[in-house]
């Protein structure tokens, strides 16, 4: 479904991605783990076109997307939940969700998806008219995920959904991630620091180190890999 071939991305003169090659297949949950500064977020930013790669190619369903603008990429069905939630604090919950459906014009479909995300996170339905900035961290993360779902993506890019959340909340968020993947035809690309949690929900995983893919395999392979155990799982 998504293919990255030798992608190199720069911030000014600094090379953040030094030739990333990875594949995401339809319907799976894939996870990308790695230390701070390994280039996980940059990978997602390159896919969504916000920080376009300087060389290499990104194919989505066989078509190159590395030359498209962010809004065209969203229109193709790739939606990103940015790191640190980044909800719109002064817009109400419902307006935040509506911004997620910005490119869509089918009112009936939008309303249906609104019902769907309120079903996933009932607390958001209660807070519908509250300003986004007044929500708690966990609720904001729910809102950020819901907002991206409102674009009805075929590929959902999740950037550290567990960041700064209590263990209970992390568990809930990961349950919902599994649910989204299981129910719909949404493929999920999950970037995580919390390697243990990510491996439990994911099918396959990649490990990033210093802008390169260091290791890849199925989730259970990675969970039992000695290097991963030592470096990321703390066992």
Partner 1 sequence: MTFRQEMKKALLTSAWFVFLTFPILVIRVNTIENVIEWRWLNMMWIAAGSFILSLLWSFYFGRKTGDPGKKTEAFAPADKAGSLFRNPRFRMPALVLTALFATAFPFLFSVYQTSIMTTALMYVVLGLGLNIIVGLAGLLNLGYVAFYAVGAYSYALLHYHFGLGFWVVLPLGGLLATLFAILLGFPVLRLRGDYLAIVTLGFGEIVRLILENWNEFSFGPSGISNIPRPGLLGLDLNLDTATIYLYYLMIGLCLITIFVFGRIRDSRIGRALIALREDEIACQAMGIDKARTKLLAFALGSTWAGLMGVIFAAKTTFVNPASFTFLESAMILSIVVLGGMGSILGVVLGAFLLILLPEYLRAFSDYRMLLFGTTMVIMMIFRPQGIITGIRRTYQFRGGSIDGATAGK
Positions in the binding site for partner 1 (CB under 8 A)? 48-50, 69-71, 73-75, 79-82, 86-92, 94-95, 98-100, 102-103, 111, 114-115, 118-119, 122, 125, 128-129, 147-148, 151
Structure tokens at 197: 């949690």
17 DSSP assignment: E
Residue with Cβ nearer partner 1 (31 or 41): 41
Provide, rounded to whole angstroms, the least separation between the CB of residue 33 and partner 1: 21
Provide, rounded to whole angstroms, the least separation between the CB of residue 86 and partner 1: 4
Provide, rounded to whole angstroms, the least separation between the CB of residue 123 and partner 1: 10
What torsion, rounded to 10 degrees, do the Cα atoms 30, 33, 37, 41 define? Answer: 20
Helices (H), the chain: 40-47, 70-76, 93-100, 107-120, 122-126, 137-149, 167-183, 195-201, 219-224, 226-228
Residue with Cβ nearer partner 1 (64 or 89): 89
Provide, rounded to whole angstroms, the least separation between the CB of residue 117 and partner 1: 10
Residue with Cβ nearer partner 1 (94 or 200): 94
Residue with Cβ nearer partner 1 (134 or 210): 134
Residue with Cβ nearer partner 1 (85 or 204): 85
Provide, rounded to whole angstroms, the least separation between the CB of residue 11 and partner 1: 14
Residue with Cβ nearer partner 1 (167 or 182): 182
* Rounded distance between C-alpha atoms, residue 26 and residue 41, angstroms: 21
Neighbour-count burial of 122, counting CB atoms closer than 10 A to its CB (0-12 exposed, 13-18 middle, 19+ buried): exposed
Provide, rounded to whole angstroms, the least separation between the CB of residue 220 and partner 1: 31
* Rounded distance between C-alpha atoms, residue 231 and residue 109, angstroms: 45
Contact status, residue 189 vs residue 2, Cβ threshold 8 Å: yes
Provide, rounded to whole angstroms, the least separation between the CB of residue 179 and partner 1: 11
What DSSP letter does each residue of 108-155 carry, written as one string?
HHHHHHHHHHHHH-HHHHHTTTSBGGGS-HHHHHHHHHHHHHTT--SE
Q: Strand pairing partners for 111? A: none
Residue with Cβ nearer partner 1 (134 or 218): 134
């Amino acid at each position: 479904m998504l293919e990255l071939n030798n992608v190199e991305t720069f911030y000014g003169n600094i090379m953040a991605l030094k030739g990333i090659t990875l594949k995401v297949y339809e319907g799976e949950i894939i996870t990308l783990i790695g230390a701070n500064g390994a280039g996980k977020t940059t990978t997602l930013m390159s896919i969504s076109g916000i920080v376009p790669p300087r060389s290499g190619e990104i194919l989505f369903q066989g078509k190159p997307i590395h030359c498209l603008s962010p809004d065209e990429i969203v229109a193709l069905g790739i939606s990103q939940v940015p790191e640190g939630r980044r909800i719109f604090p002064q817009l109400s919950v419902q307006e935040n969700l509506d911004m997620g459906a910005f490119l869509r014009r089918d009112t009936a479909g939008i309303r249906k998806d609104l019902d769907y995300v309120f079903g996933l996170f009932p607390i958001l339905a209660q807070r519908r008219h509250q300003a986004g900035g007044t929500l708690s961290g966990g609720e904001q993360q729910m809102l950020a995920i819901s907002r991206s779902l409102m674009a009805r993506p075929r590929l959902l890019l999740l950037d550290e959904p567990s960041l700064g959340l209590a263990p209970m909340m992390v568990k809930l968020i990961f349950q919902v991630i599994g649910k989204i993947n299981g129910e719909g035809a949404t493929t999920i690309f999950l970037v995580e620091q919390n390697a243990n949690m990510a491996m439990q929900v994911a099918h396959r995983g990649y490990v990033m180190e210093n802008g390169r893919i260091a290791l890849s395999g199925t989730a259970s392979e990675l969970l039992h890999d000695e290097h991963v155990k030592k470096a990321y799982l703390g066992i």
